[in-house]
Amino acid sequence: MTRINVTVDGVSNADDVEPRMLLVHYLREVVGKVGTVVGCDTSNCGACTVHLDGRSVKSCNVLAVQADGHEVTTIEGLATNGELHPMQTAFHENHALQCGYCTPGMIMQAVDLLRENPDPTEEEIRVGLEGNLCRCTGYHNIVKAVAAAAGSMSSERSNA
């Protein structure tokens, strides 16, 4: 067992974990963040995407011990003060989800995409989501939602 300190969605945690424990299992089974899910075992699907120190990672591809001393944001920590993140709103408004299983990872990656590129073209959105698989939507409305979120976030910034 190795002692780790990880801040998850703003709450600091100190836990003893087996070094082999994956970050996604730590989040789901130890911290109780079951909003983050596992969709594959080869790191292709991106369903487990979270932010580690503000950058998107596949939490199945990080050991919990590697997150020691770092900060994790999951889908459950994205809304602030009961207000949905603009990306969450955009997914709802644009019907960018059906079964919703890929959604947590898709939203977390989409947020990261706009962090790196606040005004992406359709092509840049599509390429920026290449690490996230969705089987329901055909991606059409996901791409639309990310573009919509980019628009609403940029108008928020210019109003601020």
Partner 1 sequence: MIPASFDYLAPTSVDEALAALAEHGDDAKVLAGGQSLLPILRMRLNAPETVVDLGRIEALRGIRDGGDHIAIGSMTAYSDIVASDLVREHAALLVKAVETVADPQIRHRGTVGGAIVHADPAGDVGAPILALDATMVIAGSGGERTVPATEFFRDLFETAVEDGELLTEIRIPKHTGWGAAYEKFVRVAHQWSIVAVAATVRVEGGSIAEAKVGLTNMGNTPLRASAVEQALVGSSADALADACGAAAEGTNPPSDLNGDADYRRHLATVLTRRAVQKAMEG
Partner 2 sequence: MTAVDDRPTTEVGKDRRRKEDQRLITGRTRWTDNIQLPGMLHLAMVRSPFAHAKILSIGTDEAKAAPGVHAVFTGADLADSQGVNINAWPITPDQVTPTHLPVPSERVAHTGEIVAVVVARSAALARDAAELVDVDYEELPAVLDLKEAMKDEVLAHPDAGTNKSAFWQLDSKAAGTGGDVEEAIAKARQDGIVIEREYRQQRLVPAFMEPRSTVVDPTGEQVVIWSATQVPHILRFAIAATMGIPESKVRVIAPDVGGGFGGKLQTTPEEFATIAIARKLGKPCKYTETRSETMVSAHHGRDQWQKMTLAAEKDGTVTALKVDLLADLGAYVAIVGGGVPVLGAWMFNSIYKFPAYQFNCQTVLTNKTWVDAYRGAGRPEATYAIERIMDELAAEVGVDPIAIREKNWITHDEFPFTTVAGMTYDSGNYEAATAKALELFGYDELRAEQKRRRESGDTVQLGLGVSTFTEMCGLAPSRVLGSLSYGAGGWESASIRMLATGTVEVVSGATPHGQGHETAWSQIVADRLGIPFENVEVLHGDTQIAPKGLDTYGSRSLVVGGEALVRAADKVIEKAKPIAAHLLEASVDDLEFEAGQFTVKGTDKGIGITDIALATFAAHNLPDGVEPSIDADATFDPVDFSFPHGTHLCAMEVDTETGQSTMRKYVCVDDIGTIINPLIVEGQIHGGLVQGIAQALWEGAEYDEQGTLVSGSFVDYTLPTAADTINYVSEHTVSPSTTNTLGTKGVGEAGTIASTPAVVNAIVDALRPMGIDDIQMPCTPERVWKAIRTAGAQQDKAPTADAQAHFGEGAPNQDPAAGTTDGAAQ
Name the minimum Å distance from CB 138 to partner 2.
4
- Tell me the closest approach of the beta carbon of residue 47 to partner 1, in angstroms: 11
- Nearest distance, CB of residue 102 and partner 1, angstroms: 13
Task: Check binding of 49 to partner 1 (CB under 8 A).
Answer: yes
Q: Total residues at the site for partner 1 (CB under 8 A)?
A: 34
* CA 126 – CA 141 distance, rounded (Å): 11
CB of 149 to partner 2, least distance (A): 12
Query: Which x/- pattern over 75-114 shows residues binding partner 1 (rule: CB under 8 A)?
Result: ----------------------------------x--xx-
User: Six-digit token pair at 34?
Assistant: 């079951």
CA dist., res. 15 & res. 3, Å (int): 6
- Asked if 36 touches partner 1 (CB under 8 A), the answer is no
Q: Where are the beta strands (DSSP E) in the chain?
A: 2-8, 11-17, 49-52, 55-58, 71-73
Which stretch in 17-25, 74-82, 92-100, 139-147 sits in contact with partner 1 by CB under 8 A?
Answer: 17-25
Own/partner long-range contacts of 18-21 (Cβ < 8 Å, ≥24 apart): 19/63, 19/65, 20/63, 21/63, 21/64, 21/65
